[in-house]
């Protein structure tokens, strides 16, 4: 079996439960061939012995993609229902409950999304666009995020910051309570701390941080409003988008119930959690239509 970088594979020892993209191949000092894997649908990074891998054929890839697409569509429909309810509520408040001819405009929160995976970033940006969230995306290695986040905040002045990529807990490196046992949680936590040095207040910059199996408690303590993963489970690649979209479209005068944010995500409260947070949407009027006459 010839496995190459870029192949889509599954692990036999895990009953092929998840599919991965091979991002690197290396040989250990004892001669074992190892593959470094990124999850195709979840934000998980893993090591695997070469011999434990099986290449996923095109038919199986299509079956799994269809299941994932169905899940995404269900979540998107739920989000759209929420969004329409929010718009109706905003319209009521903007007009003081009276019908009139005055048009108003809305400014949803701007998002800066920093992602350790360029393919996931591309998928996320497509979903932001579909939902209508203004976003600027940056691909950045997890280990370099803390060095870059300050300048990026200065440049883009976001209302919402997403810090994500790949992560994993390794039992061989320590207990679940120990930060050293996680692949990138310490880098995410340091990036959050650097961001909070720029914008200390939780309602002036809303932060989501983390990936699969991340050390939830350290991310919240560092200053994140929302983070993964309370039960150290895998999170879906697009979960951060649904969280920040809810925040982006909730008026700044309202506080967001944490469960209201989590219930339309693909992972739920086992993989995601947070603290009570204000929305960031602002409504204004009048709205002047372009008229060159």
- Name the CA radius of gyration of the chain, rounded: 21
What's the whole-number mean pLDDT along residues 230-256? Answer: 89
d(CA 148, CA 194) in angstroms, rounded, equals 9
pLDDT at 123 > cutoff 80: yes
pLDDT at 158 > cutoff 80: yes
Instruction: State the pLDDT at residue 260.
Output: 80
Q: What are phi and psi of 6, to 5 degrees?
A: 100, -15
Q: What is the mean pLDDT of the chain?
A: 87
Confidence of residue 43 (pLDDT cuts 50, 70, 90): confident
d(CA 232, CA 267) in angstroms, rounded, equals 11
pLDDT at 100 > cutoff 80: no
Instruction: State the pLDDT at residue 90.
Output: 60
Instruction: State the pLDDT at residue 91.
Output: 58
pLDDT digits (tens, 9 = 90+) for 54-72: 998 888 888 888 887 787 7
Element (H, E) at 49: strand 45-49
The DSSP bridge partners found for residue 86 are none
Percent of the chain residues topping a pLDDT of 70: 89
Instruction: State the pLDDT at residue 266.
Output: 79
pLDDT at 292 > cutoff 70: no
- The structure's pTM equals 0.85
């Amino acid at each position: 079996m010839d496995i190459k970088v870029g192949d889509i594979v599954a692990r036999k020892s895990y009953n092929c439960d998840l599919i991965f993209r091979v991002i690197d191949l290396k040989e250990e000092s004892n001669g074992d061939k190892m593959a470094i894997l990124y999850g195709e649908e979840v934000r998980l990074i893993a090591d695997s012995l070469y011999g434990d891998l099986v290449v996923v054929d095109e038919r199986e890839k299509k079956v799994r993609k269809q299941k994932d697409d169905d899940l995404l569509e269900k979540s998107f429909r739920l989000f759209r229902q929420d969004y329409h309810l929010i718009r109706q509520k905003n319209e009521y408040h903007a007009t003081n409950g009276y019908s009139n001819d005055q048009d108003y405009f809305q400014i949803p929160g701007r998002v800066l999304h920093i992602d350790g995976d360029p393919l996931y970033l591309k998928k996320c940006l497509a979903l932001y666009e579909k939902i209508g969230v203004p976003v600027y995306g940056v691909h950045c290695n997890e280990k370099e995020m803390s060095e870059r986040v300050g300048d990026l905040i200065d440049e883009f002045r976001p209302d919402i910051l997403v810090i994500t990529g790949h992560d994993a807990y390794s039992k061989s490196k320590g207990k679940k309570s120990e930060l050293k046992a996680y692949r990138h949680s310490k880098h995410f936590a340091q990036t959050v701390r650097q961001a909070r040095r720029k914008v200390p207040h939780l309602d002036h910059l809303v932060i989501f941080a983390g990936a699969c199996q991340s050390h939830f408690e350290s991310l919240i303590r560092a200053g994140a409003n929302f983070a993964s993963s309370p039960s150290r489970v895998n999170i879906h690649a697009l979960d951060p988008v649904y969280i920040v979209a809810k925040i982006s479209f909730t008026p700044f005068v309202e506080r967001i119930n944490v469960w209201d944010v989590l219930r339309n995500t693909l992972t739920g409260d086992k993989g995601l959690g947070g603290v009570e947070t204000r929305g960031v949407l602002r409504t204004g009027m009048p709205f002047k239509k372009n008229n060159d006459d």
